[in-house]
Amino acid sequence: MAASDPEKLMIKADKLTKLSLTRWSADWKSAIGLYEQAANGFRLAKNYEKAKAAFEKASRGQEMLSSPWDAAKHMESAAALAKELSNWSEVAEFYRRASELYIECGRSQPASDALAKGARVLEDTAPDEAIRLYIDACEILEEDGKEQMAFDLYRAATSVYIKLEKYDDAATFLLRLGLAADKCNATHSQCKAYLSAIIVYLYANDFKQAEKCYNDCCQIDAFFSSDQNRCASKLFSAYTDGDVEEIKRVAQSSTVKNLDHMIIRLAKKLPTGEVSALKAEHEEALDEDDLT
């Protein structure tokens, strides 16, 4: 066999890591180089299973040499190969391990990025795990005071929730985005997130929760004086008037069209329920007010 044969390289590397009568300490530095060569050789030959195993061993070697950054890089390579093999549980496991190794380096951004990579891979095949990865990725940045770097992750998680028809969770995550935006003084993003949450509740035909969300958001000065508040107010007026055409008009206004695509798609389908009952309830409430 040629010296560059990846199988031979793996055997040679494994020997360097095993102790014997003639080797009292493992030569991880030399072994890592051989594992890396073997991994690249296997990958070139499209033998992804063996390439993955080689990168795992190279990562382990870097850990033994107290090089968590390089260990994380190799673990990400192993995760990418797990994706090629459709081994979704290993995709999550390896990206999580890579993230932990980046944390050891004190690097929150690549740690979060590793989890986000795993989440994007798993959105269609394992959406619940994708959401967990997105949430953990957000939390890493939040703990490091880098909320603004997590905005796209909040949106990505929200999108998966919407695909799963978990509208309460989607709205809750949008409110979490609004809170993060508030901490960064990103007022425009904050107000867009609050209007988006209200639209999600309306799409889910949960008018009472949408109204509660709106009233809570109006306690925040930035939202109270915003275009997004004016848009939400018009929506609620149209709903309580039972005016379907006005709901559709407001839902396709420029303010809504400036929201994320996933929210625009929901808004285009408003109203999703019967609004005449809301009008009757509203008129009944007004009558009661007149009597008092």
The two three-digit tokens of residue 288, written as one number: 């009661």
pLDDT, tens digit (0-9, with 9 covering 90-100), for 4-30: 899 999 999 999 999 775 666 889 999
pLDDT, tens digit (0-9, with 9 covering 90-100), for 144-203: 999 999 999 999 999 999 999 999 999 999 999 999 999 999 999 999 999 999 999 999
Q: What is the pLDDT of residue 219?
A: 95
Question: What does the alpha-carbon distance between residue 231 and residue 148 come to, in Å, rounded to a whole number?
Answer: 25
8 A C-beta contact, residue 267 and residue 199: yes
49-145 is a CATH 1.25.40.10 domain? yes
User: Tokens 């275009």 correspond to what residue?
Assistant: 227
Cα angle: 197, vertex 201, 203; to 5 degrees: 115
Report the Cα–Cα distance between both ends of the chain, in Å, rounded: 96
Among residues 32, 53, 44, 31, the alpha carbon closest in space to that of 5 is found at 44
* pLDDT tops 60 at residue 287: no
DSSP secondary structure code for residue 21 in this structure: S
User: Tokens 């209200």 correspond to what residue?
Assistant: 198
User: Up-side HSE of residue 257: CA atoms within 13 Å toward CB?
Assistant: 6
The secondary element (H helix, E strand) that includes residue 41 is: helix 28-44
Alpha-carbon 147 to chain mean position? 13
**Furthest CA-CA distance within the chain:** 99
User: Tokens 């880098």 correspond to what residue?
Assistant: 146
Question: What does the alpha-carbon distance between residue 74 and residue 119 come to, in Å, rounded to a whole number?
Answer: 18
Q: Domain extents for the chain?
A: 49-145
* pLDDT tops 90 at residue 283: no
* pLDDT tops 90 at residue 65: yes
